[in-house]
Amino acid sequence: MTYFLQNVVNALQWGSFYALIALGYSMVYGVLLLFNFAHGDVFMVGSYIGFFVATGLVGLSATGIITLPYWLILVLTILISMILTSFVGMLIERVGYRPLRDAPRASAAITGLMIGIILETLNLIALGAERYKFPELLQSQTYDFMGVSITNKKIMIVFVSLLLMYLLNLFVMKTKWGMAMRAMAYDFAVVPLMGIPLNTIAALTFGLGSALAAAAGILFGTAYPVMDPYMGVTIGWKAFVAAILGGRGSIVGAAVAGFILGFIEIFSASIFPSTYRDLIAYSIILLILVFRPHGLFGQEHTSKLRL
């Protein structure tokens, strides 16, 4: 039983990472009907931005000009990095996707791959092959809860993720921009004819998705501090799987499927030898998709792009 609960805790942590990243894929798909394959690398960029912001704030605090407690540095790091990374996302939309909006879908799809490679390479050029270590902002503490050991980091990661998802839901359901994002998912071409600026909404969607990826990058950095330019590749692809599993364009689906993916992976590893983890986990997901080809929350997606 404790072993089971221990795995639940771990699954929630990994599920949080996957869910936050998957949301970015799904939101962009919902609005523009294409997947931003650079999204995993946006996670990486967000994590590095988080590293520099955190290091800067720690340094600032050390000079004694203003002394910031570590928890406040963590909160500020997450907020500032989310904002900065959202600009990266909007820039990607502006230079990579907007000029190709009327191009064949395949061209727009490889844009993401190319931008991803560019981001990885830029990172290597700028920072070299040296591996950076994310500063320890949260002193690790382990609580024993009915024999299950839970670290304060895991609690923080799951809490922050759920909070962000809650705020995202408020944004999408209650604000005019969120409503416009949903409207674009159903009928793209009509949206501007009702006085809504497509480009603003598209940019905002990229910005939001990227901000969530940045949050994931920082949370990931607090749990697994060693960073490298390719850290976003595998986790990005896995989150992409979660976005498809949730149902293309479905925000709820992406969040739920992120956690499902976390559970399937962790429990595969707990039952079978850990080398088999991904083999088993992704065979299960393949099987789910055979029976639910539109994903768990997917509707047949036929948004009309033209009049």
Partner 1 sequence: MPLLEVKHMTHFFGGLRAVHDFNLSIEKGEIRGLIGPNGAGKTTIFNLITGVYTPTEGEILFQGQPIVGLQPHEIASRGLSRTFQNLRLWRHMSVVEHIKMARYSKLTYGLVGAFFDTPERRRQEEESDEIAHRLMKELGISHLADQIVTNLPYGAQRRVEMARALATEPDLLFLDEPTAGMNPEELVEMMDIFRQVHEEFGMAIFLIEHRLRVVMELCERIQTLVFGEVIAEGTPDEIQNNPKVIEAYLGEEDIH
Residues that bind partner 1 (CB under 8 A): 175-177, 179-180, 182-183, 185-187, 189-198, 299, 304, 307
Residues ≥6 apart with Cβ < 8 Å to 157: 13, 16, 17, 219, 222, 223
Q: How far apart (Å, rounded) are the C-alpha atoms in residues 154 and 76?
A: 19
Distance separating alpha carbons of residues 219 and 51, to the nearest angstrom: 11
Listed residue (146, 122, 155) closest to 10, CA to CA: 155
Residue with Cβ nearer partner 1 (132 or 177): 177
Nearest to 253 by CA among 263, 270, 238, 241: 241
Shortest Å distance, C-beta 283 to partner 1: 32
Q: 292 or 304, CB closer to partner 1? A: 304
The strand ranges marked E within the chain are 132-133, 142-145, 148-151, 226-227
Secondary structure letter of residue 104 according to DSSP: -
Nearer Cβ to partner 1 (119/296): 296
Alpha-carbon distances, residue 117 vs 42, 114, 243, 294 (angstroms) = 11, 5, 21, 29
- When the beta carbons of 83 and 148 are compared against partner 1, the nearer one is 83
186 or 230, CB closer to partner 1?
186
Tokens found for residue 25: 């894929």
Least Cβ distance, residue 232 to partner 1 (angstroms): 27
Provide, rounded to whole angstroms, the least separation between the CB of residue 189 and partner 1: 7
Q: How far is the CB of 57 from partner 1 (least distance, A)?
A: 23
**Least spacing, CB of residue 101 vs partner 1, in Å:** 13
